Amino acid sequence: MTPGPPPQLDLRVGLGADGGTAILHRHVAWPWSLPRGFRLRGREGPLTVLPQAAGAALLPGDHWRHRILLQDGHLHLVTAGAGLVHSGGPDGGAAMAHVDWSVEVAQGRLALLPDPWVLSPGARMAQRMRVVLPADACLALMEGVCLRGAPTPATGWDSDTVIRRPSGQVVLRDRQRASGDQLARLAGLPGGMRAFGQVLLLAPAAQLAALDIAMGPWDDRDVWGAVAPLRGDAGVMIRLAATSGGALSAALDAWRARLVAGL
């Protein structure tokens, strides 16, 4: 996480007194509020936590910081819906909005499964994620972005994800950057792609095999996708492109349900 104020959402999760996954420490500041979490499958199942942001919107110049430490257990972190990224107007000139994640898994299974971000015309957003993950732990990461209205030259999306082993070895480095002009050209292609998503799944080979994810390209109505293995057999990457935010959300929901059931 970049130097600066403490994170607005800081969670330490592990095994509670009853042996089930529980929140052991929390620090929550504006814009976040945080319920206790719930276990849909009882003590042995995952703890699902749904942080809620005031207004569900990211303003120009905002810098949201998050820190998650999973000591042990099984944690699902989800959101209540898509987040809107506001702009200073379609012609730009407003400050970039930033979202940072610092995630460490000591052992166990972690699924970060938020809904996509929605970029207003002229909105500019950068997301930075840094993860430490041992080889015997499981991690699912989901991200997505879609356009609200026509992109302008000022519109921009930047995503930077690095996953490392505790030794410091880099397992994955993924960088995505798209300007407003590039997003406009993509929207102008046949099919009109206006929404983009990604799912990263890193897990031991046996657990990956149990999910039975087929490699290669596929399409389903308004969504195109491709699944590819990560280097070193660390996991898989699923990339999605869709004609609308609704089509992308439906595709991500399908992957979310599959991961929640199988991870």
pLDDT tens for 210-230 read 889 999 998 888 999 999 999
* Whole-angstrom distance, CA of residue 15 vs CA of residue 23: 8
In a domain, 4, yes or no: no
Q: What is the pTM of this model?
A: 0.91
Torsions phi, psi for 190 (to 5 deg): -55, 130
Half-sphere exposure (CA, 13 Å, Cβ side) for 229?
A: 11
Task: Tell me the torsion sign for CA atoms 123, 199, 231, 215.
Answer: negative
- Identity at 189, one-letter amino acid code: L
In a domain, 2, yes or no: no
In a domain, 3, yes or no: no
How do residues 50-94 score in pLDDT, each as one tens digit?
Answer: 998 877 688 899 999 999 999 999 999 998 788 889 887 666 666
In this structure, are residues 119 and 125 in contact, taking their beta carbons and an 8 Å threshold? yes
DSSP code of residue 211: H
In a domain, 257, yes or no: yes
In a domain, 31, yes or no: yes
> Which residue range(s) make up the domain with 31?
9-262
In a domain, 33, yes or no: yes
- What's the total number of domains in the chain? 1
In a domain, 1, yes or no: no
In a domain, 169, yes or no: yes
Please list the pLDDT of the chain residue by residue as tens digits (263 residues): 556 788 999 999 999 999 999 999 999 998 888 887 888 888 888 999 999 887 768 889 999 999 999 999 999 999 878 888 988 766 666 688 999 999 999 999 999 999 999 999 889 999 999 999 999 999 999 999 999 888 888 888 999 999 999 999 999 999 999 998 999 888 888 778 899 999 999 999 998 998 899 999 988 889 999 999 999 899 999 999 999 999 999 999 999 988 888 77
- Identity at 242, one-letter amino acid code: A
* Whole-angstrom distance, CA of residue 94 vs CA of residue 60: 6
